[in-house]
Structure 1
Amino acid sequence: MVRVLLMVMAGVLACSPAPSRQPPSDPVGDYLARTLPDGFGGTVLAGRGGDITYCEGVGLADRDSGTAATCDTVYDVMSITKQFTAAAVLKLETMGKLRVSDPIGTHLGPVPADKRGITLHHLLTHTSGLVEGLGDDYDAISREDMLAGALASRLVSTPGEEFHYSNVGYSVLAAVVEKASGVGYEQFLSQRLFLPAGMRDTGYVIPRWSPDQVAVEYDETGTSQGRPYDHPWAADGPHWNLRGNGGMLSTARDMFRWHRALTDATVLSSSARQKLFTPQVRMPGMDVWYAYGWAILDTAHGEVAWHNGGNDWSLANYARELPDGAMTYWVSNQAYAEDWNLEDVELELTKEILERA
């Protein structure tokens, strides 16, 4: 199951530092060498403007084969997928295919009375009132089964009134992308977002990765959980409890290309990019606002757009200073161990890397 991880976390890593992996003259590498726990496996990238300032793998992407993690290792980005879905919706709006103010019935057909007030904006901001999920990520359900389940579910709040993180809401958005565009969800993202951004290693099944490019995930005992696509998937990607809200595969280098594409009109117009990052709803109990597929934090350095992603094994964080400052993306193929938990330190880790980018 994809964990609901979008929350503000801080703390210090309560474990012994790993041996030095980078020379002290490298601010990001030196910080990571002092901070990351022994056993960490993953990739860390930092950038500023149009340049990558740091991109290195740490540890192993596949322990059985001894394959090292690199800047080009492919990982599941998990819930960071949501920003791609949000961008796809905004792209369709600029194409005149929909409006974010549209009720979902405009694109899905007749819906129950209690769902008629749900708009695409509500889905984008987790204010639709839809439940968090409908079952396990790997349940073999179709698009129509997912939509039927979402429309039959009992709302947890009146549409537009409260923030309730909803993975199923973003799967509904993926279905809207298909219905409005006339092509598959991944096909639309590939054609309209990823390829224009130069992202040739991002997708569900369209990129043709060799197995040694894709990281194996490990649970807290270090037991292999296989590669993301080793779990039950449909022929064209994950089933619909996961599609649109998670499960996208990418590399750190491609995630930097995505950052760079969001600094100009490569994939979205100026007005669409403004919508993507405009704070919309305050998240309960936090001084954080949710925009469209991004959380917006006020920091000493200004606004930072941020989102994380996680499942039972892996964890990823993506952050960029607004409008076009430093950025970082880091991901680990083992987020939990007996003596450390990356969730405890993820925001602090992200903040420190940003400051050194």
Structure 2
Amino acid sequence: MIFPWFHAALAGVLMSAAPVHHRIESFLDRTLPPGPGGTVAVARDGRLVHCAGFGLADREARTPARCDTAYDVMSITKQFTAAAIMKLQMMGRLRTTDRLGVHLGPVPAGKRLITVRQLLTHTSGLRDLGDDYAPVSRDTMVRRALASPLRSRPGAEFHYSNVGYSLLAAIVERVSGSSYERFLAEHLFAPAGMTGTGYVLPRWAPGQVAIEYDKRGKRRGAPTEHPWAADGPYWYLRGNGGMLSTARDMYRWHRALEADTILSRRAKAELFAPRVPIDRKAKVYYGYGWGVLPRSEHGRVTEHDGGNDWSFGEFARFPDKGVMVFWITNQAYREGKWNLEDINGELTPGLVQALGA
């Protein structure tokens, strides 16, 4: 979720005054083999200094990837769910210290101590349940999650839990009386000026949504073409992944988090607090929907990545330096040739150098 060596280097090179646009494009041209498409965005001091695509968003239609191409941002979705919980707390509708039974009804004895905060920090002990695209309703997901055996005692250990974030999305609906996506659209995305982020509510232009490709280069379709309900993904994915967004919207989200547009300073302090150690040696923690590196050579770092069988992306912020980086690809793997999840070991370091060379 967070790679300290990458972020320390990146923050440093972004402080240089040299332009980055052509270096990034040149690096991607040299480094990426034919196949993947994607988008890279970099912001500094409130300004979007680079936002451009590479490769094709749709190979069959020969549609190039662009700054405003929409992608499945995968587990980066979790930060939106966490922000929705913080917004509801600001509205006085819930508290992160609430136990599940306050919002989800009767809870089995072994899970009665689980809190909203433990869902946010992956310390609930809950196990993931099934395939992202299984046709599961909200109430079925909640029932199965609460009936499943725990991996560990609530609050005792960090275990990354997608179902925990789906439960948070269910709590958003129960508490707000609105659908999960509509609550996010009205209280997070619209105030931030994000017009291309959501499941089914945004009106994307024809060809705007990137097509995903598997490791053999087979077309897997747009995210919205996977098995979904009429109002978005089924509930093993909803709230923990599957959100579509654009690089420009992710920049707008960054700007909203820099200001108090969406969340108060107090809410953001709670959101980004380093609560649960992920890597004690590297001093990396998990907050609410974010990986947090409290101290580095270049200050605080907050980050989350996302990946599935086809795509991979990362969103990183350096609040002390006013820097944001977002990148994403529509084909993360290629059989026998490359693996763009090794983006952290090959593409990412090269991108860092290109940004500062």
Q: CA deviation at 1:29?
A: 3.0
Match of 2:265 among 270, 273, 292: 270
Q: CA deviation at 1:9?
A: 8.9
1:293/1:205 CA distance change after superposition, 3 Å: same
| Bigger Cα displacement from structure 2, 336-345 vs 141-150 | 336-345
What SS class does the counterpart of residue 327 from structure 1 fall into? strand
| In 2: Cα distance, 1:115 partner to 1:187 partner | 29
Answer yes or no: is 1:231 the counterpart of 2:229: no
1:242 partner amino acid: L
Is the 1:8–1:286 Cα contact (8 Å) retained in structure 2?
Answer: no
CA RMSD of aligned residues (A): 2.1
> Residues 245-283 of structure 1: CA distance to partner in whole angstroms, max 9, x if unpaired?
000001000000000000011110011111111100001
Partner residue of 1:46? Answer: 42
Partner residue of 1:155? Answer: 150
Q: CA deviation at 1:236?
A: 0.5
Match of 1:300 among 276, 297, 300: 297
Partner residue of 1:244? Answer: 239
Match of 2:328 among 318, 331, 338: 331
> Residues 147-188 of structure 1: CA distance to partner in whole angstroms, max 9, x if unpaired?
001000100011111000000000000000111111000000
| Bigger Cα displacement from structure 2, 182-191 vs 30-39 | 30-39
| In 2: Cα distance, 1:24 partner to 1:266 partner | 29
Q: CA deviation at 1:33?
A: 3.6
Percent same amino acid at aligned positions?
58
1:241/1:24 CA distance change after superposition, 3 Å: closer
| In 1: Cα distance, 2:323 partner to 2:25 partner | 16
Is the 1:10–1:348 Cα contact (8 Å) retained in structure 2?
Answer: no
Partner residue of 1:17? Answer: none
What SS class does the counterpart of residue 242 from structure 2 fall into? coil
What SS class does the counterpart of residue 188 from structure 1 fall into? helix
| In 2: Cα distance, 1:24 partner to 1:51 partner | 13
The 5 Å alignment of 1:180-199 reads 180-199=175-194
Q: CA deviation at 1:353?
A: 4.9
The 5 Å alignment of 1:80-99 reads 80-99=76-95
2:343 partner amino acid: V
Partner residue of 2:174? Answer: 179
1:91/1:271 CA distance change after superposition, 3 Å: same
The 5 Å alignment of 1:1-357 reads 6=1, 8=3, 26-131=22-127, 133-284=128-279, 287=282, 288-297=284-293, 298-323=295-320, 325-337=322-334, 338-346=336-344, 349-350=347-348, 353=351, 356=355
Q: Unpaired runs of 5+ in structure 2? A: 7-18
Is the 1:62–1:68 Cα contact (8 Å) retained in structure 2?
Answer: yes
Q: CA deviation at 1:239?
A: 0.4
| In 1: Cα distance, 2:61 partner to 2:187 partner | 36
1:83 partner amino acid: Q
1:167 partner amino acid: N
Is the 2:21–2:50 Cα contact (8 Å) retained in structure 1?
Answer: no
Is the 2:277–2:286 Cα contact (8 Å) retained in structure 1?
Answer: yes
| In 1: Cα distance, 2:21 partner to 2:61 partner | 32
1:24/1:241 CA distance change after superposition, 3 Å: closer
What SS class does the counterpart of residue 283 from structure 1 fall into? strand
Q: How does the TM-score come out when normalised to structure 1?
A: 0.90
Partner residue of 1:20? Answer: none
| In 1: Cα distance, 2:270 partner to 2:20 partner | 40
What SS class does the counterpart of residue 71 from structure 1 fall into? coil
Q: How does the TM-score come out when normalised to structure 2?
A: 0.90
Q: Unpaired runs of 5+ in structure 1? A: 1-5, 12-22
